[in-house]
Structure 1
Amino acid sequence: MARIKQWEPENNEFWNSEGKGHAQRNLWISIPALFLAFAVWQIWSVTAVRLNDAGFNFTSSELFTLAALPGLVGATFRIFFTFMPGIFGGKNWTVISTASLLIPAIGIGIAVQNPDTSFTSMAILAALCGIGGGNFSSSMANISFFFPKRLKGSANGLNAGIGNLGVSAVQFLTPIVITTGIFAGVFGTSQLMPDGKEVWIQNAAFIWVVPIIIVTIAAFFGMDNLPGAKQSFKEQSIIFKNKHTWIMSWIYTMCFGSFIGYAAAFPLLIKSEFPEVNALQLAFLGPLVGASVRPLGGWIADKIGGAIVTFWDIIVMIGATFGVIYFLNANNFAGFLTMFIILFFTTGIANGSTFRMIPF
């Protein structure tokens, strides 16, 4: 693909004649790359639920740690990955970061087949899933360079909104693929559950390998490094001197941090507190709601203001949190599920509205 020598998205003539095509192509490759990043990031949210049934002997604390580690590491990676498109180039970093998802995907698929795999090994693999979380910030930073200011919100909304669906996708597909020997005899044998059913837990990770390879190739041949988009870390680090950076970081922790944290813990929490309920059949609902309403949050914020929407949304979020605690103590699953769905709804709305508070 020919190298782009100039990039002027604010120039309408350039945008209509050349820029729009390049930008759209990069966006539609970035979206599946981010979708896969979110899927790999949250593999442990559903894999951990089945480990002890497959012969492992981890404590509840260890299982929740495995589910939480990708979030912790991913959040840390996001700080650094934000700067990577500016240092290496958007295309180059998308290829590298997407290909890197193969490491945890293949590693988990191998490790879960052996009940003697140590907790330390599992924890390392869980931490490596944090690469998927880091990819979110680099993906958003990269795509924002391609579009004029009037379209940045829509482009980032599509990239983030569809990308976030990777969380619900992994939680929806895992219960299906682990009960089907689609890779039987090729990538390992089945595990026997206490009820006598056969499952292939490794499929939860292996199903993402081929899509990762395909999207990596698509990024290599289809994406672009923009001229003038590269900046050193020193040039970009000026943001740390802006007080609004820190204020927005706290607000976004409440919004997106809650979304990804709840998504990771939701299946395990259902299983530990309501063992009579099939956690894997319901866990995907929360992330699906949260990801789906994210564009709605941005749209409402456009109408009445991001700060107002975020403020009242967080008030509802706090109320729903107390609702979860109440119904959890009452051992009322219907109430617990309802409050959690409201929680996911509010995180999605706030994820969209907070982006409207950040000037591009």
Structure 2
Amino acid sequence: MSQATTTDSTSADATASIDPAALPGGVPVAAPQGRRPGSRWIDDWRPEDPDFWRDTGAPIARRNLILSIVSEHIGFSVWSLWSVLVLFMGPEYGIDPAGKFLLTAVPAAVGSVLRLPYTFAVAVFGGRNWTIVSALLLLLPAVPMTILLEPGISYSTLMVLACLAGVGGGNFASSMANINAFYPQRLKGWALGLNAGGGNIGVPAVQLVGLAVLATVGAAYPRLVPAVYLPLIVLAAFGATRYMDNLSAASNERGAMREATRSPHTWIMSFLYIGTFGSFIGFGFAFGQVLQIQFAEQFATPIDAAYLTFLGPLIGSLIRPVGGHLADRLGGARVTFWNFVAMAVGAGTVWYASVERSLPLYLVGFMALFVFSGIGNGSTYKMIPAIFRAKAAEQVAAGVDPVAAERRSIRLAGALIGIAGAVGAFGGVLVNIAFRQSFLTSGTADAAYVVFIAFYAVCVVVTWGVYRRPGSRLPGV
């Protein structure tokens, strides 16, 4: 039976290197030197070896995936806190709609910037170790919010608290880079989709917490929403400490991120991810405010909007693994192409409903946007390892050593996941800025919807031109 070689307090003298011949279907990994005892490093990891995966790899990967989802879920909830808290802020806070959109845009911006260093952190510290640290960092925004949020607080203080909430946005990148290394190629779409979908559910989860607070004690106590997450953050850190592992294979070689930036596919996939994840997180942050402003007669109180706010992010989160599964079966590029077509139609429906003041049609269009942004999140992330896998096959055909080609594909895929996650998250900022500017100039969100339609149309053309056009598509993408 295959066994994973783990560096712990009883096996600190792990083999310094692993014979490539002993790794059928896998990549030889040099065992790191100088690991501290008890750090739970696994040095022998061969997910592409069927025997190893069946006997040893799958249970370990599943355990780490579950704990990763839990931590990422709480991170998303903390990141999304301001999509809920702005609903509590009535006239006594003295903040206009433009100011509220800025409060929801700031965490998205900070989170997008943090995703790059969070991706590096997995390589430097290990997936388990960084999950512990990143979970505890969520206390930085949650504790002061619990203490300070009340009428009379200055807008500058609110902006600082909104910036701190951005740390929750970084968890996604480190979690995805870590889980990508645990699973074999044939299961990456499913595993990454499940990991991301479970994390994304943190957006509707925090909105449900906000709804519960509004329904029970009213809008006077926004501080109760972050307070709910204080014990959950501590439990997530404890779970990672007790049950997760570090993978030596996840430690990127020097220059992986720099090498990935030289690939045009890095920037193409980052652009497409703006259209999927950027839409999901941007709409998730803004949906409640847009409802309150654009349909004020139907949503006179915060709780009226809160009843609907969570539905879109919930649907988009739950369906993300479906996008990964469809991409596994049909190909990521095919699913992504038709998904952007559907998103353009959804945005067109929302625009038409807004002009006609039809709330039912408006909700149908927005729910469609959440559904297809979720599917697109899964399909685009499936494309990332598939692109570099196809490039590795080309290199092997040209005479490059298969082990070296596969190692390089894993390195570059992990790096691209971090870059695309960061750039895609910035799409959430752009969505909120588009809404803010549209309301400032015309009093409605109609101009923003036109921009979204045009952007999705460009994504359709890019996906077809690079990955779907006959003669230009990479095999298996």
TM-score normalized with structure 1 length: 0.90
In 2, the alpha carbon distance for the partners of 1:123 and 1:233 equals 36
| 1:240 CA displacement | 0.5
Contact 2:118 2:171 in 1 (8 A): yes
Q: Report the equivalent of 1:346.
A: 372
2:179 is aligned with 1:143: yes
| Cα displacement string for residues 119-152 of structure 1 (whole angstroms, at most 9, x for unaligned residues) | 1111121122111111101100011112222222
Give the match for residue 20 of structure 1: 58
Equivalent residue runs for 1:56-71 within 5 Å: 56-71=93-108
8 A contact 2:204–2:313 mirrored in 1 = yes
CA RMSD, Structure 1 to Structure 2 (Å): 1.9
SS of aligned partner of 1:342: helix
Residue 207 of structure 1: SS of its match in structure 2? helix
Percent identity between the two aligned chains: 41
Q: Which residue, 41, 49, 62 being the options, matches 2:79? A: 41
Paired amino acid for 1:307 = A
Q: Say which SS state the counterpart of residue 90 (structure 2) adopts.
A: helix
Cα offsets for 1:266-318 (capped at 9, x unmatched): 00111111123211110011111111221222233333322222122212212
User: What CA distance in whole angstroms lies between the structure 1 residues aligned with 2:86 and 2:185?
Assistant: 42
Match of 1:214 in 2: 235
Query: For residues 320 and 16 of structure 1, what CA distance do their matches in structure 2 show?
Result: 42
Shift of 1:265: 0.3
Q: Call closer, same or farther: CA 1:147–1:296 in 2, change over 3 Å.
A: closer
Change (3 A) 1:206 1:175: same
Equivalent residue for 1:112? 149
Q: Which residue in 2 is equivalent to 1:131?
A: 167
Q: Which has the larger radius of gyration?
A: 2
Distance 2:48 2:344 in 1: 41
Deviations 1:36-78 (A, max 9, x none): 011111110011111125x211121111111111112212222
Q: Aligned pair 1:173/2:209, yes or no?
A: yes
Which string of whole-angstrom CA distances, capped at 9 and with x for unpartnered residues, describes residues 146-204 of structure 1? 222222222212111111111111112211034446xxxxxxxxxxxxxxx56421111
Structure 1 pair 307–15 and aligned structure 2 pair: CA distance change class (3 A): closer
Q: 1:238 aligns with which of 259, 275, 288?
A: 259
Paired amino acid for 1:126:
A
What is the CA–CA distance in structure 2 between the aligned matches of 1:228 and 1:117, rounded to whole Å?
A: 47
**Distance in 2 between the 1:303 and 1:75 partners?**
30
Does the CA-based 8 Å contact 2:181-2:249 persist in structure 1?
A: no
Partner of 1:271: 292
Q: Distance in 1 between matches of 2:148 and 2:324?
A: 41
The 8 Å contact of residues 327 and 335 in structure 2, kept in 1 or not, is answered as: yes
297 and 152 in structure 1: CA distance in 2 versus 1, 3 angstrom threshold: closer
Match of 2:381 among 337, 347, 355: 355
Distance 1:341 1:21 in 2: 36
Q: Is the 8 A contact 1:256 1:347 kept in 2?
A: yes
Query: CA contact under 8 A between 1:178 and 1:202: conserved in structure 2?
Result: no
- Pairwise CA distance, 1:6: 2.5
1:232 Cα deviation from its structure 2 partner: 5.5
Do structure 1's residue 314 and structure 2's residue 340 form an aligned pair?
yes
Which residue does the alignment assign to 1:7? 45
Decide whether the 8 Å contact of 2:186 with 2:328 is kept in 1: no
- Compute the displacement of 1:215 (Å): 0.7
- On the 8 A contact 2:79/2:168 being kept in 1, the answer is yes
Instruction: Map Cα deviations across residues 243-285 of structure 1 (whole Å, 9 max, x no partner).
Output: 0000000001001100100000000111111123211110011
In structure 1, what residue type is equivalent to 2:317? A
In the alignment, what sits opposite 1:99?
A: 136
CA distance in 2, matches of 1:165, 1:294: 10
**3-state SS of the aligned residue for 1:82?**
helix
AA paired with 1:71? Answer: A
Give CA deviations for 1:193-245 in whole Å, capped at 9, x if unaligned. xxxx5642111111111111001011112111222432366343211011000
CA distance in 2 between partners of 1:135 and 1:272 (Å) = 31
CA–CA distance in 1 between the matches of 2:66 and 2:131? Answer: 13
Q: Kindly tell me: are residues 319 and 148 of structure 1, through their superposed partners in 2, closer, same or farther at Cα, counting changes over 3 Å?
A: closer
What is residue 83 of structure 1 aligned with on the other side? 120
Report the count of equivalent residues.
343
- Counterpart of 1:325? 351
State the structure with bigger RCO (CA 8 A, min sep 6), 1 or 2: 1
Amino acid across the alignment from 1:254 = G
Do the aligned partners of residues 224 and 299 (structure 1) sit closer, same or farther apart at CA in structure 2, a change above 3 Å counting? closer
Please give the alpha-carbon distance, in whole angstroms, between the structure 2 residues aligned to 1:161 and 1:198.
30
How is 1:153-172 mapped onto 2 (pairs within 5 angstroms)?
153-172=189-208
1:44 counterpart letter in structure 2: W
* 1-structure distance, mates of 2:327, 2:212: 37
Change (3 A) 1:94 1:208: same
The equivalent residue for 1:248 is: 269
The normalised TM-score by structure 2 is 0.68
Tell me, what secondary structure is at the counterpart of 1:208?
A: helix
Counterpart of 2:114, as a letter, is: F
Secondary structure, aligned partner of 1:116: coil
Corresponding residue number in structure 2 for 1:185: none
Q: Aligned AA for 1:6?
A: D
Q: Distance in 1 between matches of 2:223 and 2:215?
A: 11
